[in-house]
Structure 1
């Protein structure tokens, strides 16, 4: 049953009457076997993805389903199929899986109390809509061409001897209208694993929901990478001046270097703060290196001129004039090629 159908159905169903269901506060284990609980998660919308904090804000629909034969109705009391086939159940009077969001940075906010319903066969469904801020490790080395996997992990307070999780594939989805600024939302996936929180203690089941997202890099390309490239190219104009004129050559290189420093400070707000170099960081460093190399070449040209070796100065200038552009393009291409294509 889909999330919308469940919402509409919950409004149509009457509240449970006192004593409508027998007390079933313990887990419905059959012969000591763990209870099979199907878990589904439906991403309704994203608020933001914060690369600096490696976190994201999400509103989602969480559904848990399991079978409790103690809640099955006798044959004579079973309603016909339709809305009446499901009845509201008081969660305080039955056993329900106790779960939590493992990677929530703060307690998620529930949009109303969880709704618990059971059908005539004892199939129980608990669902709720929650909003929260979740941590998710991000590999930002390819920034701004990175792709991430935003993960929501649901853990259990009861170990695997009591509960066994299974993925509910029809509810591993993303709302088609979900949107997050600067990112393109891809396909979701889900998996089940077990986690041992304390060495030597029992393992606990864990459900992990992940959504692939790719950064929209247009802003960073046209507002950061292209201007940086143009500033580097400006420094090469120093190789086209007359070798005997030091002033325009050194002024050009100095102006390009100062502009690079100022531009780097100006764009700092848009860049993630991480302990390693991203692709755009390396692009900036390559630019600094080439502008500094241009200044060094101008110095060599000036020394040759002052020593009366004008032919050598012109030779250095010709080599620099045609060597710098392809060397810079090759360095930029290697930088782009060295970044991982897919993160997470």
Structure 2
């Protein structure tokens, strides 16, 4: 028995999934299902995401603690008048469950089951660690994402096993106040479904707990977007200065550009380290272009003044007072609302 367990522990993920339906009628240690062929074994489940401590968009992972409880009936283990027994999970038939999207997960509870005298078996476990999840932050910082933890039976087909969330509905859900304070959980659901992949010879029964989390954008608005907007507004002061004061206009425009460049070094650490552009990247690039256009406008008005075309320079300033705010408003709408 110990040699068999050692061998199975060393089996690769691909080898486990390659089990055929015929051989799936017994578990990893040769224990047949408690129900006869042609009927499905019913396994009640409850899964609760106890905490979410980190969401890492660069690694495409989130860190969480997940509690799991399973319940099924095995009439072969009925012992009238007996006591509850605690045995190793592998010593009885079990649904051979694993976490599909685990990245670096630790089991915090002993891998045992409670065998009741009426044949009811209870399995409790707590999983803690990283889970893989697709996280596309293109809408940063106003993005929201759906996260999930999926449990899959490694050996049984849909005709042999079913997961049901009836008895443990009160033990299924997601914490309302996770440790990751820069996200808020807006909704969750638990559901059962068939898991199919190209490498599988048949569909596996599975269930998952999903939750949707939205990023708290207030911090980024106050620390990033509002100061950046003020720098852009500062660059427009040149439109209200006398065009004959070319030195003052050039000095103000240059100050705005230098402030923007210095500020970009400080807020680069606030942006998610991804290889594609987000909405805030578009906003930053557009704001930078508007500040440089303000400097270009100063150069043009200075040239007009040097050629004694002061009325044209004043007319250009009046035109810029309306056009630049309109362009900024259009940029804001396109970056965050389009």
TM range (shorter): 0.7 to 0.9
Partner in structure 1 of residue 201 of structure 2? 201
Q: Distance in 1 between matches of 2:189 and 2:56?
A: 21
- Within a 5 Å distance, the mapping from 1:176-325 to structure 2 comes to 178-199=178-199, 201-325=201-325
**TM score, norm. by length of structure 2:** 0.83
Per-residue Cα deviation, 1:228-265 (whole angstroms, up to 9, x for no partner): 00000110011122212222222222221222222112
Contact 2:143 2:215 in 1 (8 A): yes
Find 1:132's aligned residue among 124, 129, 132: 129
1:198 Cα deviation from its structure 2 partner = 3.5
Find 2:141's aligned residue among 129, 140, 144: 144
Partner in structure 2 of residue 105 of structure 1? 103
1:87 Cα deviation from its structure 2 partner = 4.2
1:72 Cα deviation from its structure 2 partner = 2.4
Q: Which moved more, 1:328-337 or 1:42-51?
A: 328-337
Q: Distance in 1 between matches of 2:35 and 2:268?
A: 57
5+ long unaligned stretches in structure 2: 1-28
1:153 Cα deviation from its structure 2 partner = 1.4
Find 1:122's aligned residue among 116, 119, 122: 119
Q: Distance in 1 between matches of 2:31 and 2:171?
A: 27
Contact 1:59 1:129 in 2 (8 A): yes
Aligned with 1:43: secondary structure? strand
Partner in structure 2 of residue 32 of structure 1? 38
Per-residue Cα deviation, 1:124-170 (whole angstroms, up to 9, x for no partner): 22111120101111231221122222211112211314433333533
Partner in structure 2 of residue 19 of structure 1? none
1:69 Cα deviation from its structure 2 partner = 1.6
Q: Distance in 2 between matches of 1:186 and 1:119?
A: 38
Per-residue Cα deviation, 1:1-41 (whole angstroms, up to 9, x for no partner): xxxxxxxxxxxxxxxxxxxxxx9932213233332222321
Partner in structure 1 of residue 164 of structure 2? 166
Q: Distance in 2 between matches of 1:185 and 1:284?
A: 28
Aligned with 1:272: secondary structure? coil
Q: Distance in 1 between matches of 2:262 and 2:156?
A: 56
Partner in structure 2 of residue 8 of structure 1? none
Q: Distance in 2 between matches of 1:193 and 1:272?
A: 33
Aligned with 1:181: secondary structure? coil
Aligned with 1:170: secondary structure? helix
Per-residue Cα deviation, 1:56-81 (whole angstroms, up to 9, x for no partner): 1111111122221212234xx26xxx
Task: Rate the CA distance shift 1:88–1:200 in 2: closer, same or farther, 3 A.
Answer: closer
Aligned with 2:264: secondary structure? helix
**TM score, norm. by length of structure 1:** 0.82
5+ long unaligned stretches in structure 1: 1-22, 79-83, 339-344
Q: Distance in 1 between matches of 2:311 and 2:88?
A: 94
Find 1:153's aligned residue among 129, 138, 150: 150
